[in-house]
Structures are given as C-alpha cells and as structure tokens.
Amino acid sequence: MGTDAVERTNAPAAVHASPTEDVTSDGTRDPVPDRVTVTQPAHVDTNVRPADVPVWPGPDPSDFLVPNPPAGEIGRLAGAEAEDVFVAAQKNPGEFWNVGGVVLWLVVT
C-alpha cells in the first residue's frame, strides 16, 4: 500500500450514482455525499471531557486512517458509513468526537 488514503466501504462495488438526501430541521433536503474524507490534523490535548462531545458515528479511526505527512492522518469512507458520518458532522461544528472514551479531533469533508 502506498501513501494514498485507504478507502473503506461496506457497500457493494457500485456506490450510489447520485447523492442521497437528508431532511433538515426546516423540512428542506440537503444532499449527502456517497464518500467523505476524514482528517485527524493532529493529536490535541484538550480539557474537553468525552461525555461533553458527540460519540463518533463511524468505524474506529485506527481502522481506516493512514499517515498524512507532514502531520496528522487521513482516510476515506464510502456508502452508508460516509452518509452517517457526514450527517453527524453537520451537527457537530466543534469537530471533537468521543471515540471509545477518548476525545479526538476529526474533520469530515
């Protein structure tokens, strides 16, 4: 494996050709991507308690993140995992997540 980010998918080989949609609080629909990139820019020391941030809705980051020199890690998710993570990230502007009782900085794009 090279330095390219690992892509993880539980979906069949064919991923949705068009984005699915998520209903917003005002009843409109926002497109939800079939693939997302997750970046852990750095490890951070924060006073935030795991109970004070949302639980990470995706797979364990250690299962799909790879080094992204010069700093941090990066990975991609596809299919249902991407959709779940994207929708949750829209509701978590702080980008800090409770991952197994540890607060991690994970940016979803």
pTM value > 0.85:
no
Instruction: Report the alpha-carbon distance of residue 39 to residue 109 in Å, rounded.
Output: 8
Closest by alpha carbon to 36, among 55, 50, 20?
20
Cβ(16)–Cβ(86) below 8 Å: no
Instruction: Report the alpha-carbon distance of residue 49 to residue 97 in Å, rounded.
Output: 10
Per the listing, tokens 């935030």 go with 48
| Residue boundaries of the structural domains of the chain | 7-108
Question: Does residue 22 register a pLDDT over 50?
Answer: no
Question: Does residue 80 register a pLDDT over 60?
Answer: yes
Question: Which one is predicted more confidently, 41 or 9?
Answer: 41
In the structure, what pLDDT confidence band is assigned to residue 37 with cuts at 50, 70 and 90? very high
In the structure, what pLDDT confidence band is assigned to residue 72 with cuts at 50, 70 and 90? very high
